[in-house]
Amino acid sequence: MDYFSWQDGTLHAEEMRVSELAERFGTPLYLYSRAALERRYQAFDEAFGDHPHRIFYAVKANSNLAVLNLLARQGSGFDIVSGGELERVLRAGGTPDDIVFSGVGKTDEEIETAVRAGIHCFNVESAEELDRIQHIGREQDRVAPVALRVNPDVDARTHPYISTGLRENKFGVAIEDAPALYKKAAKASHLEVLGVDCHIGSQLMELGPYEDAVQRVLALVDRLTQEGMVIRHLDLGGGLGVQYENQVPPTPEDYVATLLRHVPRDMPVHIEPGRSIAAEAGIFVTRVLYLKPTDQRNFAIVDGAMNDLIRPSLYGAWQEIVPITPHDADCRQWDLVGPVCETGDFLGKDRTLALEAEDLLAVRAAGAYGFAMASNYNARNRPAEVLVDEDQAFLVRRRETIEDQLQLESRLP
């Protein structure tokens, strides 16, 4: 079911008119659907049936407190990559045992905080990091639970910036080096080996590479088991793609069925989906400021820009852009560009739309890596975020003000 749909000729978020929300909260604006978020989480959860599993939502996709809190209420765990995300999860109602900590560059301070908090598991990405966690564990006289993130050297066949499972990428430890490191970890006084972890990339549109990675990880688990180690979970990462354009991604059911085909019945599985839970649960709403047809291109200048939603500029990502209340003006090809002073500032190019000034547009599937990647470039205030629950709307992050931006800065005396 789609929680953003047209009723009476105008786009609704659940039961609310997007145009009214745009009036009430202003634009540009992120709008999320509670039901969509919960439904996507449940789709993964149900797909596992009675296979022991845990879902650790990848916080980086959308770390708004209300979003995290709704997922915590569903029973979700959280995959974090910074001390900031750790704090967000705890403040949103997650517990330390709900947290796994990934990331290639954990600082001492972040490791200290996470060890002290007693998180569920560190996904360790290098030999040096393993030593550092052991050292900090000893200092605190606490045993830190670890999994090694292995790099299986498979090509996820996705955008190069978000492909992580190739030997040439900075992530994880080479799968061939893992047995020696596991031995070392098993002997360390302040480490407890819990599992094996792997994540090969994001926006995966085919499951073949993922299946390859799962098989390579399972071969490693066999070897470790033969060597006498006990592996208590497999963390198979996130990465399932969503539909931005016409290409149809596998469903959560396909994704889970693919991995369960290979994993032994009694082996608990963890996954870390981010985008596939949050993306389709959100839209980005922007208003046309000016229409500027030229000999070369027709520009529709909108109030949302690359600082608010950077995916089109950064990855050349295509996201569907739809009019919120379609009307009968002439259809033309438009480049939808923002006010930021860069030619790379666009939300979409060559879109066939009937547009007039002040029209509202929605960029779809913007709930993941949308607000989370927003910045203050050009001293623009980041947008408000609103969460819709049936016929109610909650402002879950107010629009920034220039005072918010300036309060961290000072002039010389």
Minimal distance in Å, beta carbon 23 to ligand LLP? Answer: 29
Rounded-to-integer distance, Cα 57 and Cα 78, Å: 5
Rounded-to-integer distance, Cα 53 and Cα 255, Å: 14
Query: Toward ligand LLP, which CB reaches closer, 14 or 125?
Result: 125
Interface with ligand LLP, residue 61, by CB under 6 A: yes
Strand runs labelled E in 23-158? 29-33, 53-58, 77-80, 99-101, 121-124, 144-151
Rounded-to-integer distance, Cα 45 and Cα 194, Å: 22
**Cα atoms in the 13 Å half-sphere on the side-chain side of 337:** 20
Strand partners, 4: 13
Query: Toward ligand LLP, which CB reaches closer, 61 or 148?
Result: 61
Interface with ligand LLP, residue 162, by CB under 6 A: yes
Interface with ligand LLP, residue 54, by CB under 6 A: no
Rounded-to-integer distance, Cα 319 and Cα 166, Å: 27
Residue found under tokens 């629950």: 389
Q: Pick from 64, 102, 319, 381 the residue near ligand LLP by CB under 6 A.
A: 102
Give the DSSP letter string of 391-408. Answer: TEEEEEEPPP-HHHHHTT
How many residues bind ligand LLP, per CB under 6 A? 20
Query: Toward ligand LLP, which CB reaches closer, 92 or 353?
Result: 92
Minimal distance in Å, beta carbon 311 to ligand LLP? Answer: 5
Minimal distance in Å, beta carbon 56 to ligand LLP? Answer: 8
Interface with ligand LLP, residue 202, by CB under 6 A: yes
Max intra-chain CA distance, the chain: 72
Helix (H) or strand (E) holding 372: none
Minimal distance in Å, beta carbon 379 to ligand LLP? Answer: 23
Minimal distance in Å, beta carbon 99 to ligand LLP? Answer: 13
CB 179 within 8 A of CB 220: yes
Rounded-to-integer distance, Cα 167 and Cα 146, Å: 22
Q: Pick from 38, 153, 272, 359 the residue near ligand LLP by CB under 6 A.
A: 272
Q: Judged by CB under 6 A, which stretch of 15-23, 205-213, 238-246, 288-296 contacts ligand LLP?
A: 238-246
Residue found under tokens 């449940």: 42
Query: Toward ligand LLP, which CB reaches closer, 134 or 276?
Result: 276
Interface with ligand LLP, residue 203, by CB under 6 A: yes
Minimal distance in Å, beta carbon 91 to ligand LLP? Answer: 21
Interface with ligand LLP, residue 311, by CB under 6 A: yes
Q: Judged by CB under 6 A, which stretch of 10-18, 28-36, 196-204, 345-353 contacts ligand LLP?
A: 196-204
Rounded-to-integer distance, Cα 250 and Cα 245, Å: 14
Active site residue 198: no
Q: Judged by CB under 6 A, which stretch of 177-185, 232-240, 280-288, 319-327 contacts ligand LLP?
A: 232-240
Q: What is the dihedral of CA 207, 313, 409, 86, to 10 degrees?
A: -10
Give the DSSP letter string of 196-209. Answer: EE---BSSB--SHH
Q: Which of residues 350-409 bind ligand LLP (CB under 6 A)?
A: 369
Residue ranges binding ligand LLP (CB under 6 A): 58, 61, 79, 102, 162, 199, 202-203, 237-240, 272-276, 311, 315, 369
Provide the annotated active-site residues: 341
